[in-house]
Every structure is written in structure tokens, then in C-alpha cells.
Amino acid sequence: MTYTTQHHYHRIANVMRDKIISGEWQPCMMLPGRRALAQTFKVAINTIERAVILLVSEGLLQADDRRGTFVTGGTDLSDLPSSLQPAPVIDRTRQATIGILGALYPYGDSAAFETQWTNHILRGCEQTLSEYTEMTHNFVNLLQGEQWPEFSIEHALDVLLSQTVDGIILMNEAVITPLLARVDPTRIPVITVNMTPMHFTIHEVSADDVAAGYLAVQHLILRGYRRITTFFPFDADWANARLSGISEAIHRTQVPDCIVTPFLSSTSLEPTFENQDTVGYTYAPALLETMAPGDAIIAANDSVAVGILRGAHELGRVPGRDFGLISFDDYPHSRLQGITSLHPPLEAMGREAARMMVRALRGEAIPLHVSLAPYIMARTSTLRINPSEESITIAQATEPHMAGTINNLF
């Protein structure tokens, strides 16, 4: 069987080839990132990668793991536009100090401390920076106070900038604008780590919520679920990104009987820590009224899923037996209650930010935006319901949003 993916990447390679031959893409020009190209051509990143590999094999493109992909030209790749080269280059004979800003609640309970996302991002960042002998780092907490810590952005910036720092890594979006008012990122490299892309004109590492939505659908299809209901009662950037990934997965699926229906798709509710569980619980009876084996719910996040689960138990409905349930963020309570969830790549984000900072300080070009895909934590709420061998083959042949992720769903 010939899949349309092959035609897609040949078609895209043809368009890229024409741009190079016509001179629209000049020699030594750096191509946009894979995600940007995928959005431009409205295909998956894997398709773009295959097109690029084809053009590299033809000698029209040159790929450098540390710099990016460039149009082949008469000059060496080291002859890059100055805009691609970070201004500062560290002196290898001395230590470079990296300042890290983030918000950590100083919980006395170590278990509660471990639940903080910043803690995991910071761990990955510090571990990676510690691997380089020319690097040292200092963490400055945005939260000040013992009993009831509060944000103190200006104080934290004063502390950070009173030190000599060669680069800054931010782990909280609230500090981006205040920092840029006091620091010139063309002189001191600044890298932000955010759960949702902010698209500032500074380097950024973020979680890929589009990929999360895509992978949620792929997981359900591989587990045999065909009728899927989305429950996203909040209007937020992260929710809309996940819905976009869900739509993309359905658009690309080759399983003809797979249907996705939104439940409560239009609402003005703002997500808060207090109302997410309650919203899931409140709407659970109506949401579960038509659920049957073979049906599944994609909840906006784990807190909403926990509320749905609480309502389901009162109705005598069991996820994984009577319906499927999958959500996002992989909070500890999802593990305790057997809810399948998409785990954000927290430590990987910290590691990527650290590697980008090291490369920037060494004078190497780094990408403006990097988004990392989550991974599935498959639990009992999406027990397999014996799909046919044919449907598994079709689902596995469907082009994944990110290369390799489809093979790691079980």
C-alpha cells in the first residue's frame, strides 16, 4: 500500500527545490525551523524532515546539528549572517556564570516540593550545566517569604543583576517583560522556559501542547476507541493548542469510523486551581450519559479528569471498562487514580535550555523556538478494547506528529 505521506514529502521537496533554484532561498540562508515549515506546508514535522533529507542528499541543503539547516552555497557554513551569531562568546579560560530565575514554593513537605514543575525543569537544567567544567550557575527564587511566599520580581532581578552573569535562563513568564526592560539580550543571552509558547523575540523552550493533543488521539485509536468526546470547558492558550493537535490527528487519521465530538466547546470559564475539579464533576452526568464501551473522553487536564472520575464513580461507571478517559499534565493524583495522561517533558526542557545556553556562550547559532513533545503514561483508564488487526495497522501507518513518538505508546 502506498501512503500519501510519500507524495507529501516529494511535493514539499519540489517546492523547496524551486525556491533554491530560483534564488528565492539564497546560498547560506538558514531555513526556518521544522515546526515553522510544517505549519507553512500544513503537514507533520516528520514529512518536512523527509523532504529536507532528500534535498541534503541532492546537495542542495546542508544540515548542521548545532546550527540548523542551510542552503548550500559557495562559502562555508561558518560564514553566517551576523544576526545568527550571538554577540557574547565566553573565554574558555574562566568560568561562565549562568543566572537562573524561577518560582519555587519552599514547602517543608518534600513530597509537595517534588510536585512543582519548576523543580523538575530546574533539575534538568542544573544537571546539564554541571556537566560542563567551564559553567557554573546560581538560582534566584522569585518567591520570597517563609510562611506565605509572594512574588518579588524586582527584588529577584536586583539580586540576579548585582552578580556577574554571562547568561540568564528564565523559568517563569511573568519575569520576561521586567527583565527585558533592564537587560539587553543581544549582549547577554536570555533563554526562557515556558509551559506554553510565548513567542517573544528571545530564545525559548516550551512544551508542545499541539503534539500532546495529537498523541492523545493516536493513543486512543491504537487502544481501539473510535467515538471520542473532547471536554475543554476553559478558554486558554494551552487548551486551544491541545484542541488544535486533536483536530490535526483526526484530519490525518486513516481510520474511517473515528469520530471526535466536542462537549461544552464554547465557554467563558477561566481555569483556576479551585474550579477545575468541580467543573469536571458538575458536567460528568451529562457527559457520561451517552458513553458506551468504545467511547472515550479527552479531558482538558488532569484536574478536570479527576472531577469526571468522581462523578463517574457515583454513577457506577468505571473508566477503562465502561468508557475511556485520557487527560494531560500527569499530576500525582492522576497516577493514584489510574488516569492515562500526557506527561510534559519537564526535565528535558531544562536540559535543552541549558544546552542552548552553552552553545550560545560558545558563539554558536541556536534556534529561536524549541518545542518538546510529551509522552504517554498509559494507565487503566484507557484499557485496550481489542481493536481489529486491520485497524491497528492503519493507525500505526498514520503519520505521527513527531518522528518516533507513535512507537512508544505502549
Strand stretches in 60-158, DSSP E: 61-64, 68-71, 96-102, 135-141, 143-144, 150-151
At which residue does the C-alpha cell 458506551 appear?
Answer: 292
CB 364 within 8 A of CB 140: no
Q: Domains in the chain, ordered, with CATH?
A: 4-84 (1.10.10.10), 96-208+346-372 (3.40.50.2300), 209-343+376-408 (3.40.50.2300)
Rounded CA gap, 402 and 387, in Å? Answer: 24
DSSP state of 257: T
DSSP state of 323: B
Average pLDDT of adjacent 10-residue blocks, the chain of 410 residues: 48 86 84 86 81 78 74 53 42 74 73 72 94 89 70 85 91 85 87 85 90 94 92 86 91 80 65 74 91 90 95 94 95 92 95 94 88 93 67 37 33
Neighbours of 354 (CB within 10 A): 28
Q: CA torsion angle for 28, 404, 51, 209 (degrees, to 10)?
A: -70
Does the predicted TM-score (pTM) go above 0.95? no
Closest residue by Cα to residue 306 from 259, 339, 257, 344: 339
Helix locations, 115-267, DSSP H: 117-129, 153-161, 176-180, 209-222, 237-252
Give residue 59's region: left, alpha or beta (phi > 0; psi -120 to 50): left
Rounded CA gap, 328 and 213, in Å? Answer: 9
DSSP state of 288: H
Rounded CA gap, 172 and 156, in Å? Answer: 12
130 CB contacts (<8 Å, ≥6 apart)?
137
Rounded CA gap, 273 and 254, in Å? Answer: 38
**pLDDT at residue 147 in the model:** 56
312 CB contacts (<8 Å, ≥6 apart)?
284, 288, 318, 319, 322, 323, 325
Rounded CA gap, 297 and 264, in Å? Answer: 12
Q: What does the chain come to in residues?
A: 410
**pLDDT at residue 148 in the model:** 55
Instruction: Report CA-CA distances (Å) from 393 to 2, 228, 254, 293, 324.
Output: 13, 20, 10, 21, 21
Torsion over CA: 384, 332, 344, 126 (sign): negative
| 334: enclosing H helix or E strand | helix 332-336
SS3 assignment, position 273: coil
Rounded CA gap, 134 and 144, in Å? Answer: 30
CB 365 within 8 A of CB 358: no
**pLDDT at residue 19 in the model:** 87
